[in-house]
Structure 1
Amino acid sequence: MGQVQVSRTGSTTTTTLVGEHADSLATVLGLVRSGTARTRPEIGRHSGLGRTVVTQRVNQLTACGLLEEGALGPSSGGRAPRELRFRARAGVILAAELGATSIGVGVTDLAGSVLAEHTEPADIAQGPESVLGRVEELFDELLDRVRADTADEDLAVWGVGIGLPGPVEFATGRPSAPPIMPGWDGYPVRDRLARRYDTPVWVDNEVNTMALGELRAGTARGHGDILYVKIGTGIGAGLVSGGTLHRGSQGCAGDIGHAAVSDEDEVVCRCGNTGCLEAHAGGAALARDGLAAAEEGRSPFLADVLAATGTVTAADVSRAAQSGDRVSVELLTRAGRLIGNLLATLVSFYNPALVIIGGGVSGAGDLLLAAVRETVYRRSLPLATRELRITRSELSDRAGLVGAAFMALDELFAAERLARWVGNGSPAGDPALVEVPLRAPVF
């Protein structure tokens, strides 16, 4: 069985581990990265690898700077084993979540911990040149700050993860006919950022990155089957099955915002269709209906807001409902029931253990969440809801940012990709890593 594969392109020589060597190396690193195992004996017990193989892989990972020796661990009767630590500060990940009305960017270490971040209002409809140009400016500013804080001017960018508010073809990193993103269709987001930072880049729908953030660092830790639902300006869902993010064959799984929930044709969705869930229960819909209530004098609270600000937002509807405004209570309750009706079908079909509600509108007090819960439990199969929990996001508006970082990390440390770059000590400078095929999907 071969252990290495050597390829030459021009003046560059790449040594790639293959077969069981690559798998065992990724297994050992993954156990230490996750904190599952901290010593060589623990690695052996969890992996089933022999002592000699464990020692060889640990030595290799230590030599290339991914692991380091720590303090002595607890003894089980013999000599105390030396603990191992993952060198999370060996490099950094640039992560960004682009929403319809805001952008959040950050720099994380290799364990996904946020080292610096920034969020600001933005309009995704301004187009990719403007929006991505601003993202790059913020990346550079935060990267300079982290390098100054760590006194490491050469701290390398190991990867970039980006979440976009629309359908993304994951294999190419390009948006595909996104309803709220004029000018973005087919735009080479991955290629642009890869050229700028000379590192691997992964791009996905923002709701998928939110689901991944919750799975790896939030409410869903320890769960294998979850449904993450973002209720913001639009509505979308991220599906995790058996601990793995399910994107579907083209990457658009979970786009529930454009599922039909009404036969009414008065309201046209941003996608061009009528009857979409998003057009009746999303943040933009709440703002539209709240504005109408204010203009028609049905809501004194919202009428006062309109007079003072000239507009009504979904947040205003939420505040009005919490103040007892009857019309706003009805709007939020109706939205929750519409969302709950669709989720009830998904719960019976998919049978998740956990449904997480996130996004800006999810913070609209308890009314919306209560309406969602009541409808799901009433309309779903009893067996599907026997142990089902429906709860708010733990990471809130940071879920997408954190998830974008973990998307890049999980892809980088997949066995097939780790095997290609581990000999160089870093994936920086190898954007083509994204093209390395995987035998099985990662998170």
Structure 2
Amino acid sequence: MRVLDAAFWSPGSSRHALAGPLGFSASKAKALVAGLIDQGLLEEAGTQPSQGGRPAETLRLHHGLGLLLGVDIGVTSLTVAVLRPDLTLLAQHSEDIDVRRQGPGVVLARAAALMRELLARCKGRAEQVLGIGVGVPGPVNFEAGQLVSPPLMPDWDRFSIRDFLRDDYRAPVFVDNDVNLMALGELWRLQRALPNFIVVKIGTGIGCGIVCHGSVYRGATGSAGDVGHISVDHEGPRCHCGNRGCVEAMAAGPAIVRMATEAAEAGESPVLAAALAERGSLAAEDVGSASRAGDAAANRILQHAGHLVGQMLAAVVNFFNPSHVLLGGGITQVGPLFLAAVRQSVYQRSLALSTRQLEVQYAPLGAQGGVVGAGALAMSETLRVRGVAP
């Protein structure tokens, strides 16, 4: 199981490369890998570039082991994917939802229907599913697989997602916060090379996935990383959590749209005013487009929002001292000005030692981060609790 786990977290590795992290001799690793290949658990996937001798064979989890299902539920979006054990994406579908208005029964019924449709498209069957990973936008009791007092979706409190999906699949179901899954996806992409970093999702809300010592840190009750409710202005607007000045209420997607609408209606931005008149409402992407066109009001809005997010992140950076801050979510579509404002605020407000080697950038996996993380959760946890038997 240690070899299979290492092969999963180090896609594209050779026998020799797997031996090092496991502490095995080259001969022992070779023998173990040979046995796993014979059992149909690992397979060779082509040779690597020669380093001066015989080219090494690339190893991966055997595609015949089964399939993974990944479900990424956001506040306003639903993405479902079918993946191979090595997280090769076979099929994916995304659509708009609103978990604030639609209860768990409606959303999960749609997710279940999409899972069946995508499996059929891949010519897969329910009994081939090894594990299912589900991401949800709220605090999660990881052991129970349930949301706990989610502020944006109160109807989901203590709802058993596992029980809902149990009738269709024998495979284990693992549920986690959506930003934790983004962090897990980036950890898999990095092959666990970075042990301490954070992923911040900025969309309808603001949340943070924390990777500490090479593992996702969930906290005592599953609410670690709920940074959207850090106050950046005690006299600011009231947040849906009941407090004032939360960064989520002042700098997330809805706040950016609100500021843009006010600027358009006040005649401060002809570009935003034209977009508002044409469609009747604005989106954060409109602010990004206006900013790229040189609109002064749009630039001011993005800089203000980025400054507030950076102010919050400076406190996190000083406390946790991560090597990287990766920004994801819908905010990545607004362009480089927001990222520049976040960086400026973080570096200005953080301690010099905390930022000496800090990198702040958009998350490389982008919109795929959630489903990749859902697949990583499904495979890694299935290996941990059940092995590889579907």
Does the alignment pair 1:217 with 2:193? no
Of residues 244, 251, 258, the one that matches 1:288 is: 258
Mapping for residues 275-314 of structure 1, pairs under 5 Å: 275-314=245-284
Note if contact 2:12-2:59 (Cα within 8 Å) is conserved in structure 1: no
Does the alignment pair 1:140 with 2:112? no
Deviations for 1:68-122, whole angstroms, at most 9, x for unmatched residues? 467799999x999987553034211100111111111100000112111011111
Note if contact 1:332-1:368 (Cα within 8 Å) is conserved in structure 2: yes
AA aligned opposite 2:230: A
Q: How many residues align?
A: 388
Does the alignment pair 1:202 with 2:174? yes
Note if contact 1:235-1:257 (Cα within 8 Å) is conserved in structure 2: yes
**Which residue is equivalent to 1:15?**
none
Note if contact 1:93-1:159 (Cα within 8 Å) is conserved in structure 2: yes
Cα deviation for residue 272 of structure 1 reads 2.7
Does the alignment pair 1:38 with 2:9? no
Query: What is the alpha-carbon distance in structure 2 between the residues aligned to residue 79 and residue 296 of structure 1?
Result: 70
Query: What is the alpha-carbon distance in structure 2 between the residues aligned to residue 37 and residue 273 of structure 1?
Result: 49
Deviations for 1:285-340, whole angstroms, at most 9, x for unmatched residues? 11112122222333222222221111122222222222222222111111101010
Q: Summarize the Cα distance change of 1:327–1:143 in structure 2 as closer, same or farther, 3 Å threshold.
A: same
Note if contact 1:90-1:155 (Cα within 8 Å) is conserved in structure 2: no
AA aligned opposite 1:216: W
Note if contact 2:126-2:168 (Cα within 8 Å) is conserved in structure 1: no
AA aligned opposite 2:155: G
Note if contact 2:12-2:60 (Cα within 8 Å) is conserved in structure 1: no
Mapping for residues 187-336 of structure 1, pairs under 5 Å: 187-217=159-189, 222-265=193-236, 267-336=237-306
Runs of at least 5 residues in structure 2 that lack an aligned partner in the other structure: none
Cα deviation for residue 251 of structure 1 reads 1.1
**Which residue is equivalent to 2:320?**
350
Cα deviation for residue 385 of structure 1 reads 1.0
Does the alignment pair 1:371 with 2:331? no
AA aligned opposite 2:208: A
TM-score by length of 2: 0.91
The DSSP-based 3-state class of the residue aligned with 2:167 is helix
Query: What is the alpha-carbon distance in structure 1 between the residues aligned to residue 287 and residue 116 of structure 2?
Result: 37
Does the alignment pair 1:65 with 2:43? no
AA aligned opposite 2:180: N
Deviations for 1:365-395, whole angstroms, at most 9, x for unmatched residues? 1111011001111111111111111111111
Query: What is the alpha-carbon distance in structure 2 between the residues aligned to residue 371 and residue 166 of structure 1?
Result: 27
Which deviates further from its counterpart, 192-201 or 163-172?
192-201
**Which residue is equivalent to 1:13?**
none
Query: What is the alpha-carbon distance in structure 1 between the residues aligned to residue 375 and residue 98 of structure 2?
Result: 22
Cα deviation for residue 170 of structure 1 reads 1.0
Cα deviation for residue 47 of structure 1 reads 3.2
Does the alignment pair 1:118 with 2:93? yes
Of residues 164, 167, 170, the one that matches 2:136 is: 164
Runs of at least 5 residues in structure 1 that lack an aligned partner in the other structure: 1-25, 429-443
AA aligned opposite 2:81: G
Note if contact 1:236-1:255 (Cα within 8 Å) is conserved in structure 2: yes
Q: Summarize the Cα distance change of 1:156–1:295 in structure 2 as closer, same or farther, 3 Å threshold.
A: same
Q: Summarize the Cα distance change of 1:128–1:80 in structure 2 as closer, same or farther, 3 Å threshold.
A: closer
**Which residue is equivalent to 1:435?**
none
Q: Summarize the Cα distance change of 1:236–1:146 in structure 2 as closer, same or farther, 3 Å threshold.
A: same
Note if contact 2:81-2:89 (Cα within 8 Å) is conserved in structure 1: yes
Structure showing greater Rg? 1
AA aligned opposite 1:362: T
Query: What is the alpha-carbon distance in structure 2 between the residues aligned to residue 84 and residue 339 of structure 1?
Result: 41
What percentage of aligned pairs have identical amino acids? Answer: 42
Of residues 369, 382, 387, the one that matches 2:357 is: 387
Does the alignment pair 1:128 with 2:104? yes
Q: Summarize the Cα distance change of 1:83–1:391 in structure 2 as closer, same or farther, 3 Å threshold.
A: closer
The DSSP-based 3-state class of the residue aligned with 2:345 is helix
The DSSP-based 3-state class of the residue aligned with 2:211 is strand
Query: What is the alpha-carbon distance in structure 2 between the residues aligned to residue 85 and residue 162 of structure 1?
Result: 24
Cα deviation for residue 29 of structure 1 reads 2.1
Q: Summarize the Cα distance change of 1:116–1:49 in structure 2 as closer, same or farther, 3 Å threshold.
A: same
TM-score by length of 1: 0.80
